[in-house]
Amino acid sequence: MNYLWGGMMVVGVVYAALTGNLGAVTDQALASAKEAVSLCITMASAMAFWVGIMRIAEREGMVERIAQRMGPVLTFLFPSVPRESEARTHIAANMVANILGLGWAATPAGLMAMKELKQLDARSGRATDAMCDFLILNISSLQLIPVSIIAYRSEYGSVSPTAIVGPAILATLASTLAAVVFIKLRQILDGKRAGAKR
């Protein structure tokens, strides 16, 4: 990716120089840098707020209680993960944050979940099935409130930043259902293969 982006920039600058538009490239680079800083400030404030909310929820035990209530769902999706594993709490926190559209707040929980899932099978240097299943669910996650997209649309002057909510729910619901079907089919096929080897 570094070579791809670097190559695109070099081609753009060379083309601008050959066509006499180097000044326009410089102006746009400066304008884009200013816009990027402004967007970062907007997103950082939203991120700080929601990550803080998730931290408070963790310290007050709310995440643990949610994980316990999500027990049947977690067992259905991750049958190989023991009930007493700390990974289940982190997976639940990640799923809740993603469903609420708080991708930033979901990331720390996702990293902790991956770490705990890896410890369940420390012998292998490869990703476990549970880790792959979690990654698939994390990428395809249902979002009820796409906070980050709403923030982007608001930053860029959208007349109705929340108009994206309905389409986002439908799109992420479809992707999550596809992910769950894929995961369960893989688990069933792996179970049959394991049975056939015996």
Sign of the dihedral through C-alpha 75, 80, 85, 91: negative
pLDDT, tens digit, 9 for 90 and up, residues 131-142: 999 999 988 888
Give the pLDDT score at 197.
67
Q: Is the pLDDT of residue 174 over 90?
A: yes
Proportion of the chain in helix, strand, coil states, percent, rounded to 5: 80, 0, 20
Give the pLDDT score at 105.
73
The model's pTM? 0.70
Q: Which residues contact 115 (CB under 8 A, 6 or more apart)?
A: none
CA angle 136, 137, 139 (to 5 degrees): 65
Pairwise CA distance, residues 44 & 27, whole Å: 26
Pairwise CA distance, residues 111 & 65, whole Å: 20
What is the mean predicted confidence (pLDDT) over 112-118? Answer: 90
Averaged pLDDT score across all residues of the chain: 84
3-state secondary structure (DSSP) of residue 34: helix
Give the pLDDT score at 24.
86
Of the candidates 176, 113, 193, which has an alpha carbon nearest to the alpha carbon of residue 140?
176
Confidence of residue 173 (pLDDT cuts 50, 70, 90): very high
Look at 78-92, 95-109, 181-195 and tell me which has the smallest mean pLDDT.
Answer: 95-109
Give the pLDDT score at 19.
87
Of the candidates 165, 171, 130, 135, which has an alpha carbon nearest to the alpha carbon of residue 150?
165
pLDDT, tens digit, 9 for 90 and up, residues 22-46: 888 888 888 888 888 887 777 777 7
Could you tell me the two tokens for 25?
């490239």
Give the pLDDT score at 123.
67
Pairwise CA distance, residues 103 & 76, whole Å: 23
